[in-house]
Amino acid sequence: MLLSRHGAVPVRVPDANRFAAHKLLASQLRTNDSTKSIEDLQQAAVVIGFLGEHHPGSIEEACEAFPTSARNRVKRAVAPLVDIKEAVGSEAPRQDDASMPRDNAKRVLEGARHLSPMLGNRMVAARLDGSAVVIRELMLEDLKLDAEGLTERVSECARDSSVSPE
């Protein structure tokens, strides 16, 4: 129920998991409108970022409810999501007898595999323009909610809204 000074309006709010999965699917179905497709992905990312932090695994369950053909489209929507970070040198002194890789990206990768095997297995060490980098496959739960950016957008929407709170 949405309440305002003008009265009450019944509102149907979709399940967040299904909404996010639907937005991922819709982004792949819009072949003639790339702007709307990008908007769908951005909306999905905001919801998925929140769900990933507060309800890990729930978005995957929503996607499993889709038919196989739709699941394949959703996978295509998230397939290009990768994170590339430069692997900088270590500040900690190196022990003489340590079997630590000298390449910074390989060192970061080795550390990630020891700290979190699931994370380390989704990473590769590489070179990009002469720099050591780590490339990580992003999963839906890795997407983070930009609370500051979201707050700004909510405030913007509130200013543009024709209904002002009293």
Q: Are residues 28 and 52 in the same domain?
A: yes
Q: Helices 16-29 and 34-54: crossing angle, nearest 10°?
A: 150
Q: Are residues 57 and 91 in the same domain?
A: no
Domain membership of residue 29 (yes or no) is: yes
Nearest to 28, CA basis, from 74, 67, 80, 81? 74
User: What is the residue type of 48?
Assistant: I
- Buried-state track 38-51, b at ≥16 Cβ within 10 A, e below 16: eebbebbbbbbbbb
Mean per-residue pLDDT over the chain, rounded: 77
Domain membership of residue 162 (yes or no) is: no
Sequence-distant (6+) residues with CB within 8 A of 86 are: 131, 132, 133
Whether the per-residue pLDDT at 147 is higher than 60: the answer is no
Whether the per-residue pLDDT at 64 is higher than 60: the answer is yes
Q: Please state the rounded mean pLDDT for residues 158-164.
A: 52
Sequence-distant (6+) residues with CB within 8 A of 93 are: none
Count of domains for the chain = 2
pTM score over 0.85:
no
Q: Are residues 88 and 59 in the same domain?
A: no
Domain membership of residue 112 (yes or no) is: yes
Give 74: exposed, middle or buried? Use CB within 10 Å, 0-12, 13-18, 19+.
buried
- C-alpha 127: how far from chain center: 24
Q: Are residues 86 and 136 in the same domain?
A: yes
At which residue do the structure tokens 């707050």 appear?
Answer: 151
Q: Are residues 40 and 28 in the same domain?
A: yes
**Which residue segment(s) compose the domain that 135 sits in?**
82-140
Whether the per-residue pLDDT at 166 is higher than 50: the answer is no
Q: Are residues 23 and 50 in the same domain?
A: yes
Domain membership of residue 115 (yes or no) is: yes
Q: What is the pLDDT of residues 23-56, one digit of tens each?
A: 888 888 877 777 888 788 888 877 877 777 777 7
